[in-house]
Amino acid sequence: MSNKRRLWQIFGPVLCAFILLLVVFLLPWERTFSKESLYEAAASQTTTVFKGSKMKQEAYDDGYVPFYGSSELSRMDPLHPSVLAEKYHRSYRPFLLGGPGSQSLAQYLGMQGTAKQLKDKKAVVIISPQWFTKKGQDPNAFTMYYSPLQACNFLLSAKNNKTDRYAAERFLEMPEVKGEIKSGMRSVAKGEKLTSTQKFILENRRRMLNNEDKFFSTFQLRNRVEKIHKKTKLLPNTYSVAALDKVADQQAAEHTNSNDFGIDNNFFRLRLPKKTLKRLKGSQRNFDYTKSVEYSDFQLMLEQFAKQHTNVLFIIPAINEKWSDYTGLSQPMYQRSVSKIKYQLTSQGFDNITDLSRQGNRKYFMEDTIHLGWRGWVAFDRAVKPFMKKANKPYNYSMHDYFYSRKWQIKPYASPTGVTDQNKTNKKDSLKAK
């Protein structure tokens, strides 16, 4: 037997399998998902679903509403929005998008594959002022949510405008962005068109990634359906705020009886042992959420909503005030950051804002140090329920590139109340003057 034949016998099957796999992933093919799979995906909060497109597209077409946020969405007590929607047979179902470390930049990238499905529809965004640290998005956290598929979508639709150039610059700061995608980002950041070679490579990469998404998106779904159904049994059969508050009080009293901060017992035991607790005393006295690159990253999300004419409800949560007193976090500083966020929203036409930031001293409002808890979810639902019931209409926003500037990022916003009292004309005029 010749050496060539021996080599073919050894490597031939491997080569054929590789070619077959390549053909399978390059050929266009379609897949639809069952209603059960979509329901599981909506509550799963897996990074696979977050980074994909197909399941989200089908879900939004089927009436699911994206709820963008971070780790607070993982705290599924009986008052969680997914539980309430199930119990009271709401006309919508929350599609939970986010987890620990998913800030504006990761969310913006994850939005790239669903622009068509969210045109003239609704969305809910939970804004965590804790995102607005000096450097904004943690690169290590971004790695968990980075999607080459959505990066390809971004590059192949990118234009020479401030939004796309800024986004490309920020993506280039993330170590996970590599290879042909990194090369494309460099071109977009410079305001250059992609070459025909770059487009060819990216289009074929996207085709493969789309097929992977269709094939693997149901793998490793976190099945929380049973948990949701179990939690619904703790709720009253008839919806009322007073009845829900009663459930909140009962649940919170049972789950926060080990400490004086009103923090969930398990969280306190696992995350705040005595040594850690002692070390954290006064540790946040120098924190400043008013100066951050995150404000410009947040602008990316707003631009995407504006492009889609999406009607968005923004909810700003509180911080556990007992905890902030312990760590030295300045409440006046926190309120200045909230005012800065609200100005960025209202000056561009995003007027659906529920500000819960002053509720951190309410008993059972927070579940731990920074995340909404039992009464907090009730307040959350009091905003979401009427927002979802209200007839929708196309929204046109007045976007401004000023919010990408370094000047805005570091501007120490001073007025805690004044911005919402100005009329829109004055706001627009003030922006033009900057």
Domain limits at 339? 31-432
% of the chain with per-residue pLDDT over 90:
79
pLDDT score for 400: 97
User: What pLDDT score does 394 carry?
Assistant: 78
3-class DSSP string for the chain: CCHHHHHHHHHHHHHHHHHHHHHHHHCCCCCCCCHHHHHHHHHHCCHHHHHCCHHHHHHHHCCEEEEECCHHHHCCCCCCHHHHHHHCCCCCEEEEECCCCCCHHHHHHHHHHCCCCCCCCEEEEECCHHHCCCCCCCHHHHHHHCCHHHHHHHHHHCCCCHHHHHHHHHHHCCCCCCHHHHHHHHHHHCCCCCCHHHHHHHHHHHHHHHHHHHHHCCCCCCCCHHHHHHHHCCCCCCCCHHHHHHHHHHHHHHHCCCCCCCCCHHHHHHHCCHHHHHHHCCCCCCCCCCCCCHHHHHHHHHHHHHHHCCEEEEEECCCCHHHHHHHCCCHHHHHHHHHHHHHHHHCCCCCCEEECCCCCCCCCCECCCCCECHHHHHHHHHHHHHHHHCCCCCCCCCCCHHHHCHHHHHCCCCCCCHHHHCCHHHHHHHHHCC
| pLDDT range class, residue 34, cuts 50, 70, 90 | confident
pLDDT of residue 421 exceeding 70: no
Reported confidence tier of residue 429, pLDDT bands at 50, 70, 90? very low
pTM for the predicted model, two decimal places:
0.89
Output b/e per residue, 378-398; b: 16+ Cβ within 10 A: bbbbebbbebbeeeeeebebe
Side-chain-side CA neighbours of 7 within 13 Å: the count stands at 3
* Domain assignment present for 3: no
pLDDT of residue 426: 47
pLDDT of 151 strictly over 80? yes
* Lateral strand order in the sheet of 311-316: 93-97, 64-68, 122-126, 311-316, 353-355
pLDDT for the residue 416: 42
Is residue 432 over pLDDT 70?
no
Model pLDDT for residues 91-135, shown as the tens digit of each residue: 999 999 999 999 999 999 999 999 999 999 999 999 988 899 998
Where residue 216 falls among pLDDT bands split at 50, 70, 90? confident
CA–CA distance, 405 with 166 (Å, rounded to integer) = 10
Is 9 among the domain residues?
no
Domain-located, residue 344: yes
Q: How far apart are CA 5 and CA 2, in angstroms?
A: 5
What's the pLDDT score for residue 39? 93
Structural domains counted in the chain = 1
**pLDDT at residue 80 in the model:** 97
Cα within 13 Å of Cα(328), Cβ side = 11
Asked which of 72-76, 120-124, 299-303 is least confident by mean pLDDT, the reply is 72-76
Whether 64 is covered by a domain: the verdict is: yes
pLDDT at residue 234 in the model: 96
Q: What is the pLDDT of residue 1?
A: 53
Mean pLDDT on 214-222: 72
Indicate whether 300 pLDDT > 70: yes
The predicted pLDDT at position 223 comes to 81
pLDDT in tens, 322-379: 999 999 999 999 999 999 999 999 999 999 999 999 999 999 999 999 999 999 999 9
Residue 161 belongs to a domain? yes
Average pLDDT rounded to a whole number, residues 142-151: 97
> If pLDDT is split at 50, 70 and 90, which confidence band does 5 have?
low
Which residues have C-beta within 8 Å of that of residue 221, sequence separation ≥ 6?
Answer: 37, 40, 41, 44, 46, 48, 49
The predicted structure's pLDDT at residue 19: 47
pLDDT at residue 179, rounded to an integer: 95
Q: What is the pLDDT of residues 245-271, one digit of tens each?
A: 999 999 999 999 999 999 999 999 999
Q: Give the pLDDT confidence score for residue 257 in this predicted structure.
A: 96
- Res 420 pLDDT > 70: no
Tell me whether residue 315 is in a domain: yes
**Distance of alpha carbon 323 from the chain centroid:** 25
Tell me the mean pLDDT in the region 58-85: 95
| Bridge partner list, 94 | 65
Task: Write down the pLDDT at residue 30.
Answer: 59
Q: What is the mean pLDDT of the chain?
A: 89
In a domain, 320, yes or no: yes
